[in-house]
A = this chain, B = another copy of it.
Amino acid sequence: MKATIKDVAKLAGVSFKTVSRVINREPSVGDELKERVWAAAKELNYQPNISARQLRGASSFIAFIYDNPNSHYVIEMQHGLLAECRAQGYELLIHPLSAGSGDIMADLEQLLSTGHIAGLVLTPPFSENPALIDALRQRQLHFVRIVSASDDPAESEPCIYVDDYQAAFDITDYLAGLGHRRIAFLGGEDIHRSSVARRDGYLAALQQNGIAVDQALIVPGEFNFDSGAERTRRLLALQPVPTAIFAANDEIAAGALFSARIHQVAVPQELSIVGFEDSPFSRQTWPKLTTAHQPNADIAGCAASHLIASIRASRNGSPGSGTDQALPANGFRPQLVVRDSTCPAPQ
Q: Contact residue range for chain A? A: 35 or more
Query: Are A251 and B96 interface neighbours, CB within 8 A?
Result: no
Mark A203-241 against chain B: 1 for CB-CB distance below 8 A, else 0. 000000000000000000000010000000000000000
Q: How far is the CA of A260 from the CA of B89 in the complex (A)?
A: 49
Q: Can you report 9 residue pairs joining A to B where beta carbons are below 8 Å apart?
A: A2-B113, A45-B110, A50-B114, A50-B116, A71-B72, A74-B75, A79-B96, A93-B93, A261-B286
**A225 cross-chain contacts in B, Cβ below 8 A:** 283-284
- Measured CB to CB, the nearest residue on chain B to A71 is B75
**A284 cross-chain contacts in B, Cβ below 8 A:** 225, 251, 254-255, 258, 281
Mark A51-89 against chain B: 1 for CB-CB distance below 8 A, else 0. 110110000000000001001101110110010000000
When A and B form their complex, which 10 residue pairs have the shortest distance between CB atoms, in order from nearest?
A51-B54, A71-B75, A2-B113, A51-B55, A51-B51, A261-B286, A71-B72, A225-B284, A254-B284, A281-B281
Task: With both chains docked as a complex, state the minimum distance between the C-beta of A55 and any C-beta of chain B, in angstroms.
Answer: 4
Query: Are B1 and A113 interface neighbours, CB within 8 A?
Result: yes
**Is A280 an interface position by the 8 A CB rule?**
yes
- Measured CB to CB, the nearest residue on chain B to A75 is B71
The quantity of this chain's copies bound in the complex is 2
Mark A93-121 against chain B: 1 for CB-CB distance below 8 A, else 0. 11010000000000000100111100000
Query: Are B45 and A55 interface neighbours, CB within 8 A?
Result: no
- Measured CB to CB, the nearest residue on chain B to A46 is B113
Q: How far is the CA of A216 from the CA of B337 in the complex (A)?
A: 38
Query: Are A2 and B115 interface neighbours, CB within 8 A?
Result: yes
Task: With both chains docked as a complex, state the minimum distance between the C-beta of A52 and any C-beta of chain B, in angstroms.
Answer: 5
Task: With both chains docked as a complex, state the minimum distance between the C-beta of A98 and any C-beta of chain B, in angstroms.
Answer: 11
Contact among B79, B94, B116, B286 with A82 in the assembled complex (CB-CB below 8 Å): B94
Task: With both chains docked as a complex, state the minimum distance between the C-beta of A280 and any C-beta of chain B, in angstroms.
Answer: 7
**A54 cross-chain contacts in B, Cβ below 8 A:** 51
**Is A164 an interface position by the 8 A CB rule?**
no
**A285 cross-chain contacts in B, Cβ below 8 A:** 258, 285
Q: How far is the CA of A82 from the CA of B74 in the complex (A)?
A: 15
Task: With both chains docked as a complex, state the minimum distance between the C-beta of A154 and any C-beta of chain B, in angstroms.
Answer: 32
Task: With both chains docked as a complex, state the minimum distance between the C-beta of A23 and any C-beta of chain B, in angstroms.
Answer: 15
Q: How far is the CA of A225 from the CA of B288 in the complex (A)?
A: 12
Q: How far is the CA of A113 from the CA of B71 in the complex (A)?
A: 30
Query: Are A262 and B283 interface neighbours, CB within 8 A?
Result: no
